[in-house]
């Protein structure tokens, strides 16, 4: 047996936070050393931060990254550590993993496949490294190997697949296996999306099995740069067996996961594989270095999976944990003194209030009260708090803003939810402000305003009147104002710009309303595996969603204004994600929603396409949002659409003609 301990670290990094990023890297190295690990894999671009965007093109950034690398090297004494940074060669910028050993650089392996879809724009900044190419790069007068290289360190061969490299069919691991590599390191910056972790587990396991290696996967954790959420989840597999898995959605800056792997066992497994054909040609792609590994006695690796990951509500748990962690990081990295929320008593704002409550409960549960407050040391008003409830009373202010069109049902729901999450609650009567604007405009246009002729304008002014007061309160407190729009509303523009869209962050604009309502029912009745449910959400869940912008007699509801949310979300998926035309969508909906008539489906599909095309300008203006799945509509990270377009006129004409032919003659 040749037993070695390998380790993977997840880090909560921040772009361009040189000293902070370095401190967390050094902490990870020391934590791995304490576990007697010889090989440590750190996340992709961990020195600079992954989300530097166009700052990657700054020569100063590249120079500083190399300086920080040199400052970290002494800490790698007695260890083998991968460190991610950009490297310029022949005017091409490459995403590289530097392998450091015993205080010195061995070489730089460059990423071969760049992530360029969805929220990833790597080809904007980096060049893909050509397969099989190896060069030398000079740093401080010393030449180092760069490119498609692997390493023989103390008679253990180490190779790399850098994040996207493992997601493609032609994985570099296939070639590394032919070269007899024993350990593959995968430094990643793989963003969270629902169900994505299972995909990662599969390629880590399959890589270790198919290549007969030990496979070490690392990732970022938390809200690194504003929109993407990283869930951590370090993984170590050997010969097709998962031998270690780290926690996901940790509030800690650093978490190290290690395991003991048997290099001789994976080598013999490879030798017994009949289809294995080793590449016996001499190659200059291998960088050799001496290293002495400590001697270990055999021990059993234990893989511990969180209870919530084994339950029947994994998506609900993921949503709660991802967004609450993202809110925490966004608040502290922007150095905001808590949050201000316009709490209407409806589903959207109530969900956000609950997510902030979960943020505090989970943060204190994991880090302890002192550790949680230490991460918010800048937030002086919190430091005397003794309980999560006291923290929430200071951190979250909920404001109900009623007019003559508001009812007791929503006011009660808002008050009860705020009480349940221990938030400070304020009740603003904005009727005089609303009336003042109506009088101002009526005087200017020389006629009274009327709901029959001026409906949209009269609805919108109520939503907009709510904005200045909460903004002022936010400014007074130095807080972060949260907008409350969801993805379903964004798709059809069912939101008032400078009204309910006001805020510096829009945390739930990536999630659809139908799912959000189901999530609130789960949170009311069951709740997360390690926390209590929030029964006060009954006041919210018992209502039909309404904007409450028309007079009470109008009995306004969202779904009467638009269409059933379940159907709206299905139309959105087919039209925007799947790129189907209206005729194709109608054909699908007739099968999936037989309870609705042909006329209803035609009306709703027609309404969706008209509203989608008219409201791209609104989606362009929504505050930064969190990415939670591949249905995101954020035009700055995922779903681009022209602000001005022909509005699918030809497609809609064909759609109406097709629908007419379906009607009985």
- Name, in order, each residue with C-beta under 8 angstroms of 395's C-beta and a sequence gap of 6 or more: 338, 339, 356, 360, 382
Residues 571 and 558 in one domain: no
How many CB atoms sit inside 10 A of residue 169's CB?
Answer: 5
CATH assignment of the domain containing 8: 3.60.110.10
Question: Is the per-residue pLDDT at 596 higher than 70?
Answer: yes
**Rg of the Cα trace of the chain?**
28
**In the predicted structure, residue 276 carries a pLDDT above the cut 70:** no
pLDDT at residue 556 greater than cutoff 90: no
Helices (H), 546-640: 558-561, 565-572, 582-592, 598-614, 616-621
Mean pLDDT of the chain: 95
Q: Which of 26-30, 479-483, 559-563 has the lowest mean pLDDT?
A: 559-563
Where does the pLDDT of residue 546 fall: very low under 50, low under 70, confident under 90, or very high at 90 and above?
confident
- Summarised one tens digit per residue, pLDDT across range 209-249 is 999 999 999 999 999 999 999 999 999 999 999 999 999 99
285 falls in which pLDDT band (50, 70, 90)? confident
Alpha helix (H) residue ranges in 283-405: 314-333, 347-374, 388-395
> Is pLDDT above 90 for 1?
no
The more confidently predicted of residues 311 and 331 is 331
| Mean pLDDT calculated for residue range 106-131 | 95
Q: State the DSSP code for 221.
A: E
> Among 524, 541, 562, which residue terminates a domain?
562
Q: How far apart are the first and last CA of the chain?
A: 81
Contacts 24+ apart (CB under 8 A), 235-238: 235/8, 235/200, 235/201, 235/204, 236/6, 236/8, 236/261, 237/204, 237/205, 237/207, 237/208, 237/209, 238/208, 238/213, 238/214, 238/262, 238/265, 238/266
Instruction: Mean pLDDT check: name the lowest of 357-371, 411-425, 490-504, 552-566.
Output: 552-566
Q: Domain check: are 126 and 169 in the same one? A: yes
- Do 243 and 260 sit in the same domain of this protein? yes
Give residue 422's pLDDT band: very low, low, confident or very high (50, 70, 90).
Answer: very high
Instruction: Place 595 in a pLDDT band, splitting at 50, 70 and 90.
Output: very high
Q: Report how far residue 122's alpha carbon sits from residue 126's, in angstroms, rounded to the nearest whole number.
A: 6
Please, are residues 501 and 624 in contact by the beta-carbon 8 Å criterion? no
Per the structure block, which two tokens stand in for 424? 């400070």
What value does the mean pLDDT take over residues 55-63? 96
C-alpha span between 147 and 124 (Å, rounded): 19
Q: Domain end: 286, 305, 324, which one? A: 305
Query: Average pLDDT, stretch 575-595?
Result: 97
Number of domains in the chain: 3
Return the SS3 of 9: strand
372 lies in the same domain as 444? yes
CATH number at residue 467: 3.40.50.620
**Quick one: 528 and 608 in the same domain?**
no
Higher pLDDT pick, 542 / 405: 542
Cα angle 406-483-423, degrees, rounded to a multiple of 5? 70
Average pLDDT over residues 479-496: 95
Are residues 550 and 594 located together in one domain of the fold?
A: no
Question: Is 80 exceeded by the pLDDT of residue 607?
Answer: yes
| Residue % of the chain over a pLDDT of 70 | 99
Same structural domain for residues 190 and 251? yes
Task: Identify the pLDDT of residue 13.
Answer: 98
Q: Which of 624, 612, 617 is nearest to 569 (CA)?
A: 612
The domain spanning residue 589 has which CATH number? 1.10.10
Q: Is the pTM of this model over 0.85?
A: yes
pLDDT of 280 reads: 62
Last residue of some domain: 305, 340, 367?
305
How far apart CA 525 and CA 536 sit, in angstroms, is 10
Considering the domain architecture, whether residues 254 and 363 belong to the same structural domain is answered as no
pLDDT of residue 311: 86
User: Across the strands, what pairs with 242?
Assistant: 237
What is the extent of the structural domain holding 585?
A: 564-665
For 368, other C-beta atoms within 10 Å of its C-beta total 11
Q: CA 511, CA 320: separation in Å to the nearest integer?
A: 12
Do residue 510 and residue 633 come from a single domain? Answer: no
DSSP secondary structure string for all residues of 257-271: EEEEEEHHHHHHHHH
* Same domain as 603, residue 483: no
Do the Cβ atoms of 618 and 501 come closer than 8 Å?
Answer: yes
658 lies in the same domain as 543: no
How confident is the model over 134-161, as a mean pLDDT?
Answer: 96
Q: pLDDT digit string (tens) for 359-375? A: 999 999 999 999 999 99
CB of 150 within 8 A of CB of 285?
yes
Q: Are residues 513 and 629 in the same domain?
A: no
Residues 143-151: what's their mean pLDDT? 97
Q: For position 118, what pLDDT does the model report?
A: 79
Please, what is the Cα angle at 651 between 650 and 654, to 5 degrees?
A: 90
> Is residue 459 a contact partner of residue 451, using CB atoms and an 8 Å limit?
no
**Spatial distance between the Cα atoms of 632 and 203, rounded to a whole number of angstroms:** 24
**The predicted structure's pLDDT at residue 160:** 98
Residue 274 scores a pLDDT above 70: no
The mean pLDDT of 608-628, rounded to a whole number, is 95
């Amino acid at each position: 047996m040749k037993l070695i301990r390998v380790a993977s670290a997840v880090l909560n990094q921040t772009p361009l936070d040189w000293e902070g990023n370095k401190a967390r890297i050094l902490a990870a190295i020391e934590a791995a050393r304490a576990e007697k690990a010889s090989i440590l894999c750190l996340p992709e671009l961990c020195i600079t931060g992954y989300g530097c965007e166009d700052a990657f093109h700054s020569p100063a950034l590249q120079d500083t990254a190399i300086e920080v690398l040199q400052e970290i090297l002494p800490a790698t004494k007695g260890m083998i550590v991968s460190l991610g940074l950009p490297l310029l060669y022949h005017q091409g910028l490459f995403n590289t993993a530097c392998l450091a050993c015993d205080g010195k650089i061995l070489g730089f392996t460059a990423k071969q496949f760049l992530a360029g879809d969805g929220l990833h724009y790597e080809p904007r900044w980096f060049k893909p490294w050509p397969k099989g190419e190896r060069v030398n790069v000079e740093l401080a007068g010393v030449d180092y190997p760069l490119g498609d290289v692997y390493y023989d360190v103390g008679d253990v061969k180490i190779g790399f697949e850098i994040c996207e490299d493992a997601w493609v069919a032609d994985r570099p691991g296939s070639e590394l296996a032919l070269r007899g590599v024993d350990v593959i390191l995968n430094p990643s910056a793989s963003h969270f999306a629902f169900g994505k972790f299972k995909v990662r587990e599969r390629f880590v396991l399959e890589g270790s099995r198919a290549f007969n290696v030990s496979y070490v996967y690392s990732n970022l954790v938390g809200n690194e740069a504003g929109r993407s959420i990283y869930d951590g989840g370090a993984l170590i597999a050997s010969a097709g067996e998962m031998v270690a898995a780290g926690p996901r959605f940790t509030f800690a800056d650093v978490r190290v996961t290690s395991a003991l792997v048997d290099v001789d066992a994976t080598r013999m497994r490879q030798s017994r594989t009949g289809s294995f054909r080793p590449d016996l040609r001499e190659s200059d792609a291998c960088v050799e270095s001496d290293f002495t590994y400590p001697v270990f006695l055999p021990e059993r690796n234990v893989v511990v999976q969180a209870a919530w990951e084994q339950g029947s509500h994994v998506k609900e748990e993921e949503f709660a944990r991802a967004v609450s962690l993202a809110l925490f990081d966004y608040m502290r990295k922007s150095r905001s003194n808590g949050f201000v929320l316009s709490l209407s008593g409806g589903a959207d704002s109530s969900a956000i209030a609950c997510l902030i409550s979960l943020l505090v409960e989970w943060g204190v549960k994991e880090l302890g009260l002192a550790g949680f407050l230490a991460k918010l040391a800048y937030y002086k008003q919190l430091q005397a708090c003794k309980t999560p409830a006291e923290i929430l009373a200071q951190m979250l202010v909920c404001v109900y803003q009623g007019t003559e069109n508001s009812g007791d049902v929503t006011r009660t729901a808002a008050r009860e939810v705020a009480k349940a999450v221990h938030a400070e609650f304020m009740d603003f009567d904005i009727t005089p402000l609303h009336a003042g604007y109506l009088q101002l405009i009526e005087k200017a246009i020389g006629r009274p305003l009327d709901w029959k002729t001026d409906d949209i304008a009269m609805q919108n002014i109520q939503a907009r009147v709510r904005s200045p007061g909460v903004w002022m309160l936010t400014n007074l407190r130095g807080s972060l104002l949260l907008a409350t729009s969801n993805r379903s509303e964004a798709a059809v523009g069912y939101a008032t710009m400078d009204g309910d869209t006001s805020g510096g962050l829009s945390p739930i604009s990536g999630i659809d309303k139908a799912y959000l309502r189901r999530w609130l029912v789960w949170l009311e009745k069951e709740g997360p595996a390690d926390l209590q449910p929030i029964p006060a959400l009954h006041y919210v869940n018992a209502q039909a969603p309404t904007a409450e912008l028309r007079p009470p007699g109008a009995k306004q509801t969202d779904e009467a204004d638009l269409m059933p949310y379940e159907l709206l979300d299905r139309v959105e998926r087919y039209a925007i994600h799947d790129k189907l035309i209206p005729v194709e969508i109608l054909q699908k909906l007739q099968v999936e929603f037989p309870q609705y008539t042909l006329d209803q489906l035609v009306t709703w599909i027609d309404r969706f396409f008209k509203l989608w095309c008219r409201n791209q300008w609104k989606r362009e203006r929504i505050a930064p949002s969190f990415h939670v799945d591949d249905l995101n509509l954020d035009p700055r990270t995922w779903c681009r659409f022209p602000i001005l377009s022909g509005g699918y006129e030809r497609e809609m004409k064909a759609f109406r003609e097709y629908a007419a032919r379906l009607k009985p003659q």
